[in-house]
Structure formats: structure tokens, C-alpha cells
Amino acid sequence: MNPMDIVLGVIGIALSVMIFSYLLGDNFFFRVALYILVGVSSGYAAAVLVLKVIIPRLIEPLRESGTDAFWLGLVPLALCLLLALMLVPRTVKAGTLPLAFLAGTAAAIGVAGISRGTLAPQLLAIVNRFSPDLLRENAVADWGGIVEAFFILFGVISVLFYFHHRLSRRSADAQRPLLVEGISGVGQVFLGISFGMLFVGFYSAALTALIARIVWLKEFIVALLAG
């Protein structure tokens, strides 16, 4: 193990212990480690953006005067200048133009993407569950598939009932019918199962990362002792 690896390993151990100190609450060492992480990540991201985005896509086209890339490059340059005017209090409003452009474009793309990529395919998948071709297997009813299809449909409806019931309960204190209350309760069960699965997933990911860090510490100490 060369000296540089030892130094980097010791720094890594120190930072790991500083992060682990959060078990004692929010303290100075944890904040220092967090600031180092944020600072290094921001600096690295800024360097990558300058080298991979600004220079090749903004500066380089402007060096080719008279070309299409040059004229197209003026548009992002103007937007960048307007955005930079937000640093001056008197010209803050000038920066709203590129921000409005970005927000509007992102919202439009997001809505279109959700509609085409999530809502429509998911709804079609639920409807296709009741396709006669899928519910029949060798000219015999596939009862398992039928039950599964109805179960999925009931889950979707109950979850929608739950959200609708919660919103309506906020607006008025009117007592809901018993059927609606029951379906909403079933929807709540479905949501609970989903959140539980999400929690397990998050915990598993965190546990895997923690185990990897402990294994790294163990290997580093063993290598350090072995020389």
C-alpha cells in the first residue's frame, strides 16, 4: 500500500466517522463532513458543466462566425445574459424570461411524458387484463388471471376512492356513506403496503451501502496492518 492510499484511506475513515457521529445528533463534525461533501460535489459539477456543456456548446459555436451554429449560439447566449441580470436588483425581472422559458418547457414535457409514458400505458395495462385472450388459456378460463385482474382493478379504484375521500373530508365534515368509507379503508391498506415496500427498498439500499462501507474499512485496516 503506497503512502497516497494510506492518506486517502485515513481521510476516508475520518469522514466516515464524522458522518456516523450523526447518531449523537446534529453536531459540528457531521456538518463539516456534510459541507465538504456539498462543496466538493458542487465544485466538481461546475467543472464538468463548464468543460462538457458551456465550452463545447456555447463558446465553440460562437467562434465560428457566420455559420448556423454561430447564429443558433446567440440564442442561449442572450438567455444566459438575461439570467445573469438577476444578480442586479434593478434588473431582476429580466431574468424571468429564461426562467419562464425553462419552466414552461419542462412542465410541457413533463405533462406529455407522464401522459404518454405512465398514465396511458398503465391504464391500458389494466384494461388489457380483462382481454378475453388473456383470460382464456387453452379454451379454459384462467381463473387465476381473472382474480388477479379484478384484484388489480379493485386496488386502483380503492386507492382513488381514498384520495377522493380524503380531499372531500378536508372541504366538508359531511359523513360519507359506509360503502365509500369501506372502499377508502381498503385503498388505505393498499397504500400502506406500497409504502411499506418502499421503506424496505430504501432500507435495503442504505443497508447495502453501510455494509459496503464497513467492508471497506475492514479491508483497509487489514491491509494497513499487513503492511
Partner 1 sequence: MILCPHCGKENLPVATRCVHCGEDLEDLFRIEGTDPDAGLPEEQDISVSDLLQAFRQEDDSQAEKPRPVISIGKTPEPAASEETQSVTPEGEDEQTPEWLARIRKRALQEEDAAGELSRKINAMEASRAEEHQGRVDEEFANWIARIRENARRENLLAAKPAEPSPESEEGVPEWLRKVRELQPQDAEQDQPSEETIAGFSIEASAQEAEQGDEPALEQSEPAEALAANPQEESEPGAVPELESESAELVLHPDEEASPDARADEEPSEGPKTPELEPVLEELGLTAEVGALDLEEKPSSSEELSADLLLLRKQKENAQMLMTLIGEEGKGLPPAKTAREASKGWYRFILGAFLLLVLAAVIVFVPEARPIKFENPTPAVALKDALNALESGDTVLVVQEYQAATSAEMEQMSAPVLRALEERGVKLQFLTTHPNGLWLSANLMDAADIPAREISYLAGGRLGVLAAALQLDESSAAVPGALENLENYTLILLLEDSQADIQNWIEQAGPWLKAGKLGILASSQNAALLLPYYDAGQLAGYAAGTMEGRVLADALDAPTAGAPSRAYQAGLLVMIAVLLLGMIIKAEADSNARHQKEPEA
Q: What per-residue string of b and e applies to 62-75 under the rule 16 or more CB within 10 Å gives b?
A: beeeeeeeeeebee
- Is 124 or 182 the residue whose CB approaches partner 1 more closely? 124
State the binding string over 126-165 for partner 1 (x if CB under 8 A, else -).
----------------------------------------
Q: Taking CB under 8 A as the criterion, which residues in 171-200 touch partner 1? A: 194, 197-198, 200
As given in the structure block, the three cell numbers for residue 222 are: 487489514
Cα 192 from Cα 185, distance rounded (Å):
10
- Is 41 or 168 the residue whose CB approaches partner 1 more closely? 41
Helix locations, the chain, DSSP H: 3-20, 28-49, 60-63, 68-84, 96-114, 120-128, 132-135, 143-171, 178-226
Given the rule CB under 8 A, which of 2-10, 18-26, 90-98, 169-177 is the region that contacts partner 1? Answer: 18-26
Contacts to partner 1 by CB under 8 A: 20, 23-25, 41, 44-45, 48-49, 52-53, 57, 61, 69, 72, 105-106, 109-110, 113-114, 116-118, 121-122, 124-125, 194, 197-198, 200-205, 207-215, 218
